[in-house]
Amino acid sequence: MAHALKRIRTKQRQQSSWPILVLLLVAVSVSGACVLWFMTQAISNERLAARQKIVSVYEDQLNVAKRRIASYWTDRAAQLAFPNEPISSAAHFARVIRDDLADGVVIYDSLGRVEYPSPAQPTPGLDPSQTEPWQNAERLEYEQLDYTAGARAYGAIAVAAVTRSEAAQALQAQARCLAKSQQGEAALNILTGTLTELKYRESLDQHGNLIAPNALLFALHLISDEDVDARATTLSKLQALVTDYSNTVMASSQRLFIMQQLESLGVDRQSLVTLDAEARSATYIETNPPPPPPEIGVLQRTRSDDQWRLASSDGRVVALLREQRVLSETRALTDDEFALSQATITLLPPGADPALPEPLLVKAMEEPLSGWSVALQLTGDDPFVSAADKRISAYLWTGAIVVGTIALLTVVIGRFVSAQMRLARIRNDLVATVTHELKTPLASMRALVDTMLEGRCRDQQQQTEYLELISTENARLTRLIDNFLAFSRMERNKHAFEFREVHIDSIIDAAAEAMRERFASLEGQLHREIEPNLPVVNADADALTTVLINLLDNAHKYTGDDKHIVCRAYCDNGLVCLEVQDNGIGLSRRAVKKVFDRFYQVDQSLSRSRAGCGLGLSIVQFIVKAHGGTIGVTSELGKGATFSVRLPASATNTANQG
């Protein structure tokens, strides 16, 4: 019979609510996924529509900006060309740089050869070192170290010179010897006086360099720092010479060298306007040797990654432009001429990636900026996007409300279904348990009654024994019915308690009296340890008696023949504690956690032999909680168990103690 009941309960446990909950979860997941998909599509469509509206508004303006940028650089190429009036290459170089049309300039002739900047070229016939007087003067200076005699020899050469260049070179050498012979004043008179005269202005040395600027630079090294006026006058003369681009005789390499020397001597770089352009142009010629010249009117990258070149409309002038300059000028152009609300236009060089965030529009440029592109990027909140965001926000809120409602309904339905399934399982367990538990005592009673009715009793003593057995089974049946009724009321929350002040002593006496016959054969094995002067508790006396009877009954059933059961009562921190301790079979850790569950039985075979349906401790727990108390158990297998009930003392006791 026990195995049959176990199969019934196993089958009932298998009929759980999880399939229904899984179906509900699937339904919610599918519904939520559908809602989210529709929301995603709606949001995507709204953003696409907003983007298309923005593109249609800004595309025409971007095309206008493209044409404006192309026209700007086409005009720049025209501005670079030579003017109609005659002008030297050096002067045109200076004009382009001073008009801030480029960062560097290279000027070609009609055959594609570089005219400016150009290095100094040795001039045939200007090297006097091959003449005997000059060689004698050099021996005096460099071999004999007779600087005074050398100065006289160079002075004689200057007087006898046929050309001004030869005379200027001799005077420069004479000043050098005078400086070496510690005759600085005489040397400065030649360097800053004689050699700066108009007749020597275009005199060249054997290397093709102008002598006058070199003489002034030499003079600056001879003038002491204390002679401020002389130093300032010499610096001013030298600066005027190197910045005078009408003097076409000076080579660009000499001009660049002297400008760099002036900067090292403290001349403000801003006053040397063409210095950077001279250096950039010279570097370009070194890394981009001619021919061929660049394509006319097209912005092209040079071998330097951050530099571009633009040839003039006549093809003779090549402007060198830093990439940052091209970008900044274009940005200023678009900012001034095409200031779009909440948008900016950016010029992108070939191979450049647009800056994040991704631009709204990107269009390729045409000549003169072939390979470049312009990008339009939004910088503020566009009205179309704001409107789209409002609709998207409405979609999101609607979707969230729908998904949340579905989830809430699912939770409610799931809890309702779980509760119904739980009640159904409890009902089925109760019916199965009641049927089985009532069948056993009724069958025993019927067998005994039938035996007596058939007159098969040997004597009066056997008949008395049968009647005692019937009484025992009847008491067992009564306890089962009481437990079932208590469980039913407990499940329906209709158990009524009559609370009044009760002494724990009387509860223990009533429970011991009820269990007296059970312990009659075990005289002295039920020990009572009651602390004196225990406070009263506010409780239902019959309910507390039922609690104690259940605990004593379990202690009796689950101990062996040598029973040592203790019923203990004491006070702890304002709580009245009841304990029932036995030396029975004990409980495992798993059993300790589940022992108060409905219909739970530690060992069904043992419970069958000693009666019980697994409801007693659950009823005990219900009653204790209804009294505001707690119940617990400590146990080890084979070492017995101790059930502890803690109840709050009556408020009357607390007031009296106060």
pLDDT (mean) for 10-38: 62
Looking at residue 5, its pLDDT comes to 42
Confidence class of residue 105 from pLDDT cuts 50, 70 and 90? very high
pLDDT (mean) for 218-239: 87
Looking at residue 18, its pLDDT comes to 66
pLDDT (mean) for 4-32: 57
pLDDT (mean) for 49-58: 67
User: Which positions ≥6 away from 141 have C-beta within 8 Å?
Assistant: 147, 150, 173, 176, 177, 180
pLDDT (mean) for 330-349: 69
The more confidently predicted of residues 496 and 361 is 361
Q: Is the pLDDT of residue 604 over 60?
A: no
Looking at residue 45, its pLDDT comes to 63
pLDDT (mean) for 480-501: 64
Looking at residue 380, its pLDDT comes to 64
Cβ distance 648 to 575 under 8 Å?
yes
Looking at residue 102, its pLDDT comes to 92
Q: Is 315 left (phi over 0), alpha (psi -120 to 50) or beta?
A: left
Confidence class of residue 435 from pLDDT cuts 50, 70 and 90? low
Looking at residue 526, its pLDDT comes to 77
Q: Is the pLDDT of residue 612 over 60?
A: no
Confidence class of residue 366 from pLDDT cuts 50, 70 and 90? confident
Confidence class of residue 524 from pLDDT cuts 50, 70 and 90? very low
- List, in sequence order, every beta strand (DSSP E) within 551-600: 565-572, 575-581
Q: Is the pLDDT of residue 6 over 60?
A: no
pLDDT (mean) for 420-437: 59
Looking at residue 637, its pLDDT comes to 84
Q: Are strands 565-572 and 299-301 parallel, antiparallel or unpaired?
A: unpaired
Looking up tokens 């090292």 gives 264
Give ∠ CA 274-276-281 in degrees, rounded to 5: 90
Q: How far apart are CA 84 and CA 204, in angstroms?
A: 31
Question: Hey, what are 609's tokens?
Answer: 């032999």
User: Which segment of 265-279, 416-430, 618-632 scores lowest on mean pLDDT?
Assistant: 416-430
Q: Is the pLDDT of residue 311 over 50?
A: yes
Q: Is the pLDDT of residue 539 over 50?
A: yes
Confidence class of residue 392 from pLDDT cuts 50, 70 and 90? low
Using omega within 30 degrees of 0 as the cis cutoff, is the peptide bond preceding 122 cis?
no
Per-residue burial over 435-445, b = 16 or more CB atoms within 10 Å of its CB, e = otherwise:
ebbbebbeebb
State the DSSP string of 331-399: HHHHHHH---TTEEEEEE-TTPPPPSSPPSEEEE--TTSTT-EEEEEE-S--HHHHHHHHHHHHHHHHH
User: Which positions ≥6 away from 185 have C-beta within 8 Å?
Assistant: none
Give ∠ CA 468-469-470 in degrees, rounded to 5: 90
Looking at residue 95, its pLDDT comes to 92
User: Which positions ≥6 away from 109 have C-beta within 8 Å?
Assistant: 115, 316
The more confidently predicted of residues 400 and 531 is 531
Q: What is the pTM of this model?
A: 0.52
Cβ distance 639 to 588 under 8 Å?
no
Q: Is 435 left (phi over 0), alpha (psi -120 to 50) or beta?
A: alpha
Looking at residue 86, its pLDDT comes to 85
Looking at residue 1, its pLDDT comes to 40
Q: How far apart are CA 183 and CA 185, in angstroms?
A: 6
Confidence class of residue 109 from pLDDT cuts 50, 70 and 90? confident
Confidence class of residue 14 from pLDDT cuts 50, 70 and 90? very low
Confidence class of residue 607 from pLDDT cuts 50, 70 and 90? very low
CA distances from 377 to 83, 357, 366, 544 (A): 40, 8, 20, 82
| Tally of helices (H runs) and strands (E runs) in the chain | 20, 15
Residue type at 612 in one-letter notation? G
Q: Is the pLDDT of residue 163 over 60?
A: yes
Ranked by mean pLDDT, the top range of 117-126, 272-281, 403-412, 557-566 is 272-281
Say how many CA atoms lie within 13 Å of 363 toward its Cβ.
Answer: 18
Looking at residue 485, its pLDDT comes to 59
The more confidently predicted of residues 538 and 341 is 538
Tens of pLDDT, residues 440-475 = 667 667 766 777 777 777 777 777 776 767 776 676
What is the pLDDT of the chain when averaged over all its residues?
77
The percent of residues in the chain predicted with pLDDT above 70, rounded, is 71
pLDDT (mean) for 128-132: 78
pLDDT (mean) for 421-429: 61
Q: How far apart are CA 443 and CA 423, in angstroms?
A: 30
Confidence class of residue 533 from pLDDT cuts 50, 70 and 90? confident
Q: How many other CB atoms are there within 10 angstroms of residue 234's CB atom?
A: 23
pLDDT (mean) for 563-581: 88
Q: Is the pLDDT of residue 552 over 60?
A: yes
Q: Is the pLDDT of residue 508 over 80?
A: yes
The more confidently predicted of residues 62 and 215 is 215
